[in-house]
Amino acid sequence: MFRPIRTVWPIRALILAAGLTVGCGRRELARQTWPAMGTVAGVTVPGRAENHLPAYAELARETVREMEGRLSQFNPDGVISMLNRQAGGDSVVLDPDTLHVLALSLHYARVSRGAFDPTASPLVRLWGFHGGAPRATPPTPAEIRDALSTAGYSHVVLNEETREARLALPGMKVDLGGIAKGYAVDAVSAKLKAMGATDFMVNLAGDMRCFGEPSKGKPWRIGVRNPFNTAEIVGVLHLTDGWAVSTSGHYERFVEIEGTRYAHILDPRTGYPVAGMAGVTVVATNATLSDALSTALFVLGPDQALSVLRETEGCDALFIPDRLPLELWITPELQRRFVPDRDWVDAVRVLDL
Ligand code: ADP
Ligand code: MG
């Protein structure tokens, strides 16, 4: 779930601040980063709060490690591995965090009508997104049918009262890779707030959450990368008050089979990797929601996503279709938080929600 396909660090959005480079005088922002969940985690605070940073980063590191241990399907001792091993058999009692993430992932699976599916793992594995040697040829339709027959969120049986979970089909597997990083960001945020932190940003590569202000009267500024030229940004998001942002893109994690690139997000309804989207950025009131929905909306694309966006409170999106010239499709409310780069002002289109 958290294994990087390549050894790149998939930072899909970047924090914009001159102060990030160590230089003369007091730094505007202070940041600590460390490798976690197959990517890079980080905590950023205003320069004036730099003395708190080591304690914040330590708590964040511990929390992320704990979440990874619980939620990763690659930890053989974790509860998700146990659940997966027992697929088709007995139920497993989950700890409260895992129960909560699994319940939320089933909720988003229903909301997105299966575009987000925490049981897409056999497909993810079939296409070679779990690492190892790349496939020489794409899977055959028979292999895809086979993998689809062991997937489907409706076969996850969850009893929230007894905290028991069971996978009804033998060979089924739960993969929380599309939501766990967001959940970990929320868990870190809650702990930092409980510790008294007011102005900070938590970052797990493509998933971030911002509180307070980096400097008086200023929001946190998060750059959204251009999927066609990742050295460049298409615009800046202005976030504060606990808002979160997640990006799912076709440009950081992919496999190449017979010269064709396949993005690491699968359409669980067809069994094929998603084609047509270059990037989807979701801004939401928490990072679990932004993470799950960025994956779901990447599958759905702007047209099919409209009903999901209408039904989901506290959630806005920016879609970049996989075609040139570049287009930036945004939800109406996002106009308040997204400032396109000068070069891309004319590329903005507002969705009719
Ligand atoms: P990343 O993990 O790169 O941040 P996402 O948050 O979009 O990107 O999640 C992608 C991961 O989610 C994949 O690596 C895979 O483990 C899993 N996944 C792939 N397709 C789906 C899907 N349709 N629904 C839920 N999870 C998925
Ligand atoms: Mg996601």
Residue 233 Cα to ligand 2 midpoint, Å, equals 20
**What pLDDT was estimated at residue 15?**
56
Q: Is the pLDDT of residue 29 over 50?
A: yes
**What pLDDT was estimated at residue 21?**
28
Mean pLDDT, all residues of the chain = 91
Residue 27 Cα to ligand 1 midpoint, Å, equals 35
Residue 223 Cα to ligand 2 midpoint, Å, equals 18
d(CA 278, CA 275): 8
CA angle 71, 86, 173 (to 5 degrees): 50
Mutating to test ligand 1, I would choose from 246, 264, 288 the residue with most ligand atoms within 8 A of its C-beta, which is 264
Closest-CA residue, ligand 1 atom 16, reads: 177
Percent of the chain scoring above 70 in pLDDT: 93
Which ligand sits closest to the CA of 249?
1
Model confidence at 350, in pLDDT bands (50, 70, 90)? very high
Structure tokens at 134: 């790349």
Q: Is the pLDDT of residue 13 over 50?
A: no
- Which burial class, exposed, middle or buried, applies to 132 when counting CB atoms under 10 A from its CB (0-12, 13-18, 19+)? exposed
Residue 16 Cα to ligand 1 midpoint, Å, equals 26
- Which burial class, exposed, middle or buried, applies to 40 when counting CB atoms under 10 A from its CB (0-12, 13-18, 19+)? middle
The residues lining ligand 1, judged by C-beta closer than 6 Å to any ligand atom, are 1, 10, 116-118, 120, 124, 129, 175, 177-178, 181, 206, 248, 253, 264-266, 268, 291, 294-295, 299
